[in-house]
Structure 1
Amino acid sequence: MACLGIVTGTCSFAQLHMDDHPSTSTTDNTVLYSTEGVKTESDTNRLFVIHDINISGNEKTKPAIILRELPFQLNEAYPLGTIVEKFRKARRQLMNTGLFRNVVVSLKSFDDHDVYINVEVEEKWYVWPMAFFKPVDKNFGEWWKEKDRSMNRINYGLRLSHNNITGRNDKLRLSVMNGYTRQVSIQYYGLWLDDALKWSTSAGVSYGQNREVNYMTLRNKQVPVKGEGNFLRSYVGGFFQLNYR
């Protein structure tokens, strides 16, 4: 539903709700503007100034992360029709961050040429642990048939993901693996470097040990060198990225 009830004469409250299906808000007075194209008795090109933006529902997410997704700012002036379109765009961009289950952008009230906007968000659950258990062979069929389902050729472990670790839409990934291969890794995405939230960095580091190393391919199969029960190779890896939006 999308409706904007703005009436002529004296009025103390007006509200715009952004959902998927437009509808008309009616009162006992004459409707000045509606998203369904109701004919108006006043000039809808009249400019309204954004006087205040109120954000609610963000228990974890920082207000700056929400504000950066809005296609309007304080003290900007637009006709009502443009405000309606920008509310739709604001909701779409906030949903695209992956941080929220739902977003409602509404025109809370107005005073003469000043409008007061409310942005209400419903946050997702951000912490996700996941256990894993998988063979080290090329595919499950090879492990099942050719390796006799050997439990010695299994990797198992735990991954932990936090998709909003500091409330700035930054992500932390932790992984611990044991079994045929040992590995510990940590990755962090989205460390903001400037107040405008344009530049960010991502980085990660890992340490692991392998019991075998593939050194050639014979009849479309990899031939490994094995460590006779011990770890044959240790390695350290990492990455660093600089991102601009």
Structure 2
Amino acid sequence: MRREGGFSTVLLGGVLLALLVGTIVVVLALSGHIQIEGLAPRKVAGKLEEVGRFNAGAIVVTNVVGDVRLVESNVSGVVVRSNIPLNASYRDGLLTVYCPDKKTFLGRHNVCSDYRNGTVVIEVGSTLADVWFRGLVGNVEVDVDATRIIVEDMVGDLVSTPAAEYRLEDVVGDVSIVAGNDVTIKDVVGDVAISVPVNLSVQLNAEDIVGDVRNSHSGEGMPILITVSDVVGDVEVGNDF
């Protein structure tokens, strides 16, 4: 394990935070997570409605402004519910869930950003192969069995309980996951907590971390590689949190 520190790293972290804070505040205001006069969404999302039922083995959630929860349920396949105008497409076992864009005089506009308190609930009845989250503004909770979870370009907190393989990149928010296989995390502004079962052993490689790095995991068994880099926040690896 190697941890980079020193003045240059701290300065880099400070500059990164300064550049990001304005954009983050505006994005969160547009999503309804915070309110700024003139920027808050005009509509309040209503009750959850069913979007569709699918026999999916993998899921992509992309371009969504709102909180997303994947939950275990006694259903056949996958059931998607939402209180924002969500679209879903299905092909060859892959379900893609997304908010559509509309054209405006300024370019393209995500229709879900017109709503505050947007929520997407995906009920899952069996193990998923892969789950992808891309271009999200909102918190994400994953409480279903999955083999691999990928997160890219997200503003919000991630809490994921399946012991899976993880690849996370470009996240602004706290991260809490359970690792069952290799983990790669890079470019995160927020604290990172990784829980690893005792029947696994850990090889941790942490580089360019502006914060504390702690590895309290104790266990024996199949080794997994955890690589964490370019994080502004604390990084902790342990048996349970």
Structure 2 length-normalised TM = 0.21
Computing the radius of gyration from Cα coordinates, the structure with the larger value is 1
